[in-house]
Chains A and B, each alone.
Chain A
Amino acid sequence: MIVDVALFASLSGFHTHEGQGHTRQYDLASGTTIADVISLLGLPDQPRIVFVGGIHAEETSELHAGERLAIFPPVAGG
């Protein structure tokens, strides 16, 4: 199944292939979870917020064809 994955800020370098902007398409096996994608991409263990289709999602959630996964790592300072 094809899923769009958007990696923001310092995570943008963890995409496995080149492309434009934050987002790349990935062909994932049915039943792949968000946590599986995080593991596949080797994202660092740091605070992050995850959205699917613009809505917050738990990392245990399964992805579905055509969805857009976005992962954003906030950094300190306020």
Chain B
Amino acid sequence: MRFDKDPDVDRQESMILQAELRDHLAPKSVAILGCGGLGSNCAAMLVRTGVLHLTLVDFDTVEAENLNRQEYFLDQVGLPKVEALAATLWRIDEAVDVRTIDGCIDADGLLSMVVGADVIVEAVDAAETKAMIMQVCTRELPDTPLVAASGLAGYASANQIETIHLADKVWVAGDLVSDVRDGHALVASRVMTTAAHQANAVIRILLGLDIV
């Protein structure tokens, strides 16, 4: 079902549309692979918009140096990221249904992590893992949309960040080239811009709209 509406609406109608939007998104399920700068911010944006079924996957714990760009707080340092993020999402919407997987993402276990998801979000750090996720998901789940990210490091213009259509059911957000391994810092503004691109692509996919 597509969700096309006239953008020229008054405030009262847009409030109704907001409720319709949430009704449409609420039953949808999104799997987020990686809960660092991309995944934690993307998850929060999706829940704020009305997505109420999320699977969160990450092996890491919250560290103080994550707080410059990731959706965590000082009192969560030391907690598993998936546990801390789930708690934050419940503070945004207590109705959210969160499945947490505190573990590494590898090719053998990947499919069980994303089972049932309407959309998969690749939000990991390592280029090798990004490639593996794209390979496995497009080979084994060719009909499930995948929203990946690549190129978000540094503090170049945020206007360089875009969402491109890479393959049949694959979209990539980022500037595609800014590699953290080239020594670029990870800056909240660009990380969160890329996460917002991912969240927006997910929402448009779930609404049956064209992505780019």
Contacts and interface: CB of A to CB of B under 8 A. Distances in A.
Size category of the B interface is: 35 or more
Interface stretch (A26-34, A35-43, A44-52): A44-52
Interface in A22-78: 46-49, 51, 53-56, 70, 72-78
Contact of B177 (A10, A48, A49, A53): A10
A47 B128 contact: yes
Contact of B39 (A10, A74, A78): A78
Given A10-B177, A56-B134, A56-B138, A74 B167 contact: no
A76 B167 contact: no
B166 interface: yes
B14 to A, nearest CB: 34
Contacts of B179: 75-77
A9 B176 contact: yes
B201 interface: no
B166 A78 contact: no
Nearest to B180: A77
Contact of B152 (A55, A70, A72, A77): A77
Nearest to A72: B166
B142 interface: yes
Given A76-B181, A78-B36, A51 B153 contact: no
Given A74-B150, A77-B125, 20 more contacts: A8-B176, A10-B177, A47-B128, A47-B131, A49-B134, A49-B135, A51-B138, A54-B167, A56-B167, A70-B167, A72-B134, A72-B166, A72-B172, A74-B130, A75-B177, A75-B180, A75-B181, A76-B127, A78-B37, A78-B38
Interface of A: 8-10, 46-49, 51, 53-56, 70, 72-78
13 contacts: A9-B177, A10-B176, A47-B128, A70-B166, A72-B172, A74-B150, A76-B130, A76-B153, A76-B179, A76-B180, A77-B191, A78-B34, A78-B152
Interface of B: 34, 36-39, 123-128, 130-131, 134-135, 138-139, 142, 148-153, 164, 166-170, 172, 176-181, 184, 186, 191
